[in-house]
Amino acid sequence: MMTSLTIEVGKVLLVLIGVLNLAAVLTWMERKQSAVMQDRIGANRASILGFRAFGLFQVLADSIKMFAKEDFVPPMGNRFLHTLAPFVSAFFALIGFAAIPFGNVIHLFGKDISLQVIDLNVGILYVFATMSLGIYGVVLAGWSSNNNYAFLGGMRGSSQMFSYEITIGTTILGVLMIFESLSLQTIVQAQGELLWGFIPKWGVVVQPIGCLLFLVAGIAETKRVPFDLPEGESEIIGYFVEYSSMKFGLFMLTDFVETILIASLVTTLFFGGWQIPYLMRDGFHFPGGFTVSLSGTSVSLLQVLSYCVKVFFFCWFLLLVRWTLPRFRYDQLMRLGWKMVFPISILNLLATSLLVLLLR
């Protein structure tokens, strides 16, 4: 009893601390990566005792600054909801990670530990639901500030997130039909199979269009640059104009946590999660009969590593997209969402269901 409780709490802490730390590192990565892409150097002045560590202390300096700033609530705003909104945003972004598997079952201390906080049999619906509930943070922030610009920003945010969530839903359906499960762990395990004996049956191989659409809609969900109309910091200003100090920091953190969430979902649904091609329980089995045998624990650890590398790669990729593309105009955003991405996802769904039916 006690050991299983410890294991559960340990897994929760591992995921929570991992995600929050990665989010903190992403704030540094965003600065540095954008700088390198634009032939600049980027933040490198924050130092402890003259030791700069490539500007990594900037993260610490930022958080100290955030906590030390004045926490302002607009006089006519709703104090309770104004305080609640950032917590709602951050909370729903963070609990989504509970259902995402970061490794296969590992055998430790005489027990089989599933490397996932909870193996829900409706895992994907759960993640999807927490993503949708994140809208409440945006709407509440916009409304409770008693500022027309913030309110409009909140409305833009909610309509954008609604529009693109429909696309996410329809693209996910295609994946569900192929892997025949709602549990993310089962979906990842199914991606370990091989097509025609040599191509790993990853989501991106069987659902290439779905993968692309999911990425587009996912970036729209994170409310970052090509789709950053809810916040539009440079001119149209958005739902968190009236936020300062760590409440604003929480919104910023939420953006990065959502980036990680989208990266993890893309990894889990389309890029094999923790799977490494040709790596079975007892080692590598390459097509052509070549095998490398490995112990069970090292296989599990390799898989966790592969999951982390994939998530990190997609975080990098999402940042690359964020620093490459200019922002859409609002009508372009809606046209893209409803007239291009959504119909294509429906067609993709139809084609997938036909193929699944014919090939059965």
Partner 1 sequence: MGSRELSFTERLYIIEVFKGLWLTGHHFFGNMKRHLARQLGLNRLKKGAVTFQYPEERRPFSPRYRSRHRLTKRDNGSPRCVACMMCETVCPAHCIYIVAGEHPDPNIEKFPVRFDIDLGVCVFCGFCVEACPEDAIRMDTGIVEIAAYSRKEMIYHIEDLLQ
Number of C-beta neighbours around residue 208 at 10 A: 12
**26-58: buried (b, 16+ CB within 10 Å) or exposed (e) per residue?**
bbbbbbbbbbeeeeeebbbebeeeeeeeebbbb
Distances (CA, A) of 294 to 109, 188, 191, 279, 300: 19, 21, 20, 9, 10
Establish if 40 lies at the interface with partner 1 (CB under 8 A): yes
CB of 187 to partner 1, least distance (A): 26
* Identity of the residue, 72 or 317, whose beta carbon is nearer to partner 1 in the bound complex: 317
By CB under 8 A, tell whether 323 contacts partner 1. yes
Nearer to partner 1, 12 or 321 (CB): 321
Q: What's the DSSP call for residue 229?
A: T
Nearer to partner 1, 35 or 204 (CB): 35
Q: Does 325 bind partner 1 (CB under 8 A)?
A: yes
Q: How many other C-beta atoms can be found within 10 angstroms of the C-beta atom of residue 153?
A: 25
Contact segment (CB under 8 A) with partner 1 among 10-18, 65-73, 288-296, 321-329 equals: 321-329
Q: Which of 39, 70, 235, 331 binds partner 1 (CB under 8 A)?
A: 39
Calculate the alpha carbon distances from 237 to 37, 73, 181, 222, 257 in Å. 26, 17, 41, 17, 21
Q: What value does the CA radius of gyration of the chain take, rounded to a whole number of Å?
A: 22
Decide if residue 284 touches partner 1 (CB under 8 A): no
For partner 1, give the closer residue by CB, 35 or 304.
35
Would you count residue 36 as binding partner 1 (CB under 8 A)? yes
Q: Please, where are the H alpha helices in 38-122?
A: 57-68, 79-95
Q: What is the closest distance, in whole angstroms, from the C-beta atom of residue 318 to partner 1 in the complex?
A: 11
Number of residues that bind partner 1 (CB under 8 A): 15
> What Å distances lie between residue 31 and 56, 170, 202, 311, CA to CA?
10, 34, 32, 19
Phi and psi torsions of 326, nearest 5°: -80, 165
33: contact with partner 1 by CB under 8 A = yes
The single residue among 155, 237, 321, 346 that binds partner 1, judged by CB under 8 A, is: 321
Stretch that binds partner 1, among 188-196, 234-242, 274-282, 315-323 (CB under 8 A): 315-323
48 binds partner 1 (CB under 8 A): no
- Find the binding residues for partner 1 in span 189-228 (CB under 8 A): 212
Site for partner 1 contains 336 (CB under 8 A): yes
| Calpha distance 174→62 (Å, rounded) | 42
CA distance 153 to 165: 18
Q: Does position 35 bind partner 1 by CB under 8 A?
A: yes
Our CB check for partner 1 shows the closer of 118 and 325 to be 325
Two structure tokens written together for 278 = 């040709």
Where on the chain is the footprint of partner 1 (CB under 8 A)? 33, 35-41, 212, 320-321, 323-325, 336
